[in-house]
Amino acid sequence: MNNGKVDWRGSIAAIVTPFTESGDLDEGALRANIEMTIGERSHAIMVGGHNGEAHLQTDAERRRTWEIGIDVVAKRIPLIVGTGGIRTEHVIELTVAAERLGVDGVMIEVPYFMTPNPPDVLAHYQAISDAVDVPIMAYNHPKRTGVPLSPRFMKELAAVENVVAMKDSTGDFAHVMECLHELGDSLRFFIGPARLYGLPAVLMGAAGFVDGLSQVMGSRISELYECSMRGDLERAKRRQWEAFEVGELMYKSAGTWPATAKDAMRLQGRPGGWPRKPLLPMRGADLEKLRSSLERAGLLSVAAAV
């Protein structure tokens, strides 16, 4: 079973990529962000995914963020990097480069914009798997790609040699339940929005979640997973409600995610940096509303978030 090829589990931190206010990659802040997140007990690190604004970076910048991730993580926990894109040959080039650098795995979303059909998607992952020998986490995010992956199709995808895990960001718990039932041990199944159903998904058999909220909420997110697994349901429920309230604030504020996460991190004194255009930081009344909300949640200072 593919599930036995990796031991990925828990709260995987989807790292934001800090940029300077002028738009340059802020390598020092990226290093500090990864180190901070490891210190707050994340079980693995994801660099260069959607939260990392990989789609707004050159290939050279993407590779540089992977190099920084490898250097900082230093094999303490798994490092997964995002190598997705539209053109299959381009994704293969990126994935080969990531494998040569020594990452523990890659995350690859369904090619976006073109809305490929299931045979196209299967051929895409098969071609990538044939070209490398690195574990692949497939990414189902139909809101961004326009292509929903059914539980039955995911089972077909699990037959691809190096596809070992799935991140699902549908936001549909009924779909998650169907996936957990259909997939069994064939894939390690992770959810995207921990704020919506981190606790129930883990209780029903999900391997964990890939989420960016840990950079705003600190160890509360890793604790959500840990308490769920050990049966401390009262504490787990408390962490779930906190994640829901803060996550809804981040995703439904006046700004655009992940720029809103970076807005929150700057208010907290955390190394999130600035977004890259076309995303804009919040300012004025919207930013003050975010500040007030974080203060009510006890998250305005770094100390309060850990």
Query: Could you read off the pLDDT tens digit of each residue along the chain, which spans 306 residues?
Result: 466 789 999 999 999 999 999 999 999 999 999 999 999 999 999 999 999 999 999 999 999 999 999 999 999 999 999 999 999 999 999 999 999 999 999 999 999 988 999 999 999 999 999 999 999 999 999 888 888 899 999 999 999 999 999 999 999 999 999 999 999 889 999 999 899 999 999 999 999 999 999 999 999 999 999 999 999 999 999 999 999 999 888 888 788 999 999 999 999 999 999 999 999 999 999 999 889 889 988 898 644 333
Cβ pair 221, 213 in contact under 8 A: yes
Domain boundaries, the chain: 2-232
Cβ pair 222, 40 in contact under 8 A: yes
In whole angstroms, give the CA distance from residue 4 to residue 27: 35
- Residue 115 neighbours by CB under 8 Å, 6+ apart: 145, 146, 147
Q: What is the assigned CATH class of domain 2-232? A: alpha beta
Q: How far apart are the first and last CA of the chain?
A: 37
pLDDT of amino acid 304 = 39
Q: What is the Cβ-side half-sphere exposure of residue 143, based on CA atoms within 13 angstroms?
A: 8
> 169: which 2 tokens?
């960001």
> 114: which 2 tokens?
């073109």
Q: What is the Cβ-side half-sphere exposure of residue 233, based on CA atoms within 13 angstroms?
A: 4
Backbone angles phi, psi at 25, to 5 degrees: -65, 125
